[in-house]
């Protein structure tokens, strides 16, 4: 069953591994490795570490060539937004990578398959595995196809608070405010929930591993709502 799932994942990403063990390693969450007494080194954490470095390099090169007049400070901020947990989880959802992660039973039951921290880590581990299996060019192709694609749309997501502020200012009466709804999960893996309001109206709700990430998600959903309303009015 695992082999069938991993073969399906290869088809989804358009890359066939020479070493199938690397793909399984990349998809093995620590809960899966622990449950099977495989040892910590058999989880995807080290591949995630490697993939993170490859992703930073490819993203830096892409921004350098795509935005030749962008100041260093702005490029650094944009790169940080692209490689952050929430954006990677957003990209992983499009594959959908969560369907192929190997999890322990407890993590499976608690909804780990859709948890941003797990899917974003798996995405970086997959990049690391592709880099080891096929080299820098193969890893770069994956990153360009699934992470650096449609960057203008993704900018709505990773810079949503700023964009939402710009959309509201001077166009919609009322102050923007963010209201925490609470937090859940253990101390090492908390999930925060937030609502964003314009005046007395709730415009969107979001969650994330940090309050800032939750606010970005809430703002993104508010943007989608405003755009949908605007499109209806134009029809």
Taking alpha carbons only, the member of 110, 103, 100, 86 closest to residue 185 is: 110
Q: Is the distance from CB of 143 to CB of 128 less than 8 angstroms?
A: no
Q: Name every residue whose Cβ is closer than 8 Å to that of residue 219 and which is 6 or more positions away in sequence.
A: 160, 161, 163, 164, 196, 204, 206
By CB atoms closer than 10 A (0-12, 13-18, 19+), residue 77 is: middle
Closest CA to 208 of 186, 187, 189: 189
Instruction: Count other Cβ atoms within 10 Å, centred on residue 25.
Output: 21
Largest CA distance in the chain: 59
Report the distance separating Cα 56 and Cα 62, nearest Å: 10
| Distance between CA atoms of residues 144 and 114, nearest Å | 23
Instruction: Report, as residue numbers or ranges, the catalytic residues.
Output: 52, 124
CA 128/CA 124 separation, integer angstroms: 6
């Amino acid at each position: 069953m695992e082999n069938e799932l991993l073969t399906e994942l290869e088809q989804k990403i358009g890359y066939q591994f020479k070493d199938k063990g690397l793909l399984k390693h990349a998809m093995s969450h620590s809960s899966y490795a622990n449950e099977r007494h495989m040892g910590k080194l058999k989880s995807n954490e080290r591949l995630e570490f490697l993939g993170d470095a490859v992703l930073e390099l490819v993203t830096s090169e892409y921004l350098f060539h795509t935005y030749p007049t962008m100041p260093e400070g702005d490029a650094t901020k944009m790169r940080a937004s692209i490689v952050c947990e929430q954006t990677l989880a957003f990209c992983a959802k499009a594959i959908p990578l969560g369907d192929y992660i190997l999890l322990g039973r407890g993590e499976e039951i608690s909804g780990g398959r859709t948890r941003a921290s797990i899917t974003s880590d798996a995405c970086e581990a997959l990049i690391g595995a592709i880099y080891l299996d096929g080299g820098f060019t193969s890893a770069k192709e994956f990153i360009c196809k699934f992470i650096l694609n449609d960057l203008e749309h993704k900018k709505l997501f990773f810079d949503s608070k700023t964009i939402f502020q710009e959309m509201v200012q001077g166009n919609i009466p009322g102050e923007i405010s963010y209201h925490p709804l609470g937090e859940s999960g253990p101390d090492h893996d908390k999930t925060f929930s937030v609502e964003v309001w314009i005046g007395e109206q709730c415009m969107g709700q979001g969650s994330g591993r940090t309050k800032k990430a939750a606010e970005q998600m809430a703002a993104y959903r508010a943007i989608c709502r405003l755009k949908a309303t605007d499109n209806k009015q134009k029809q």
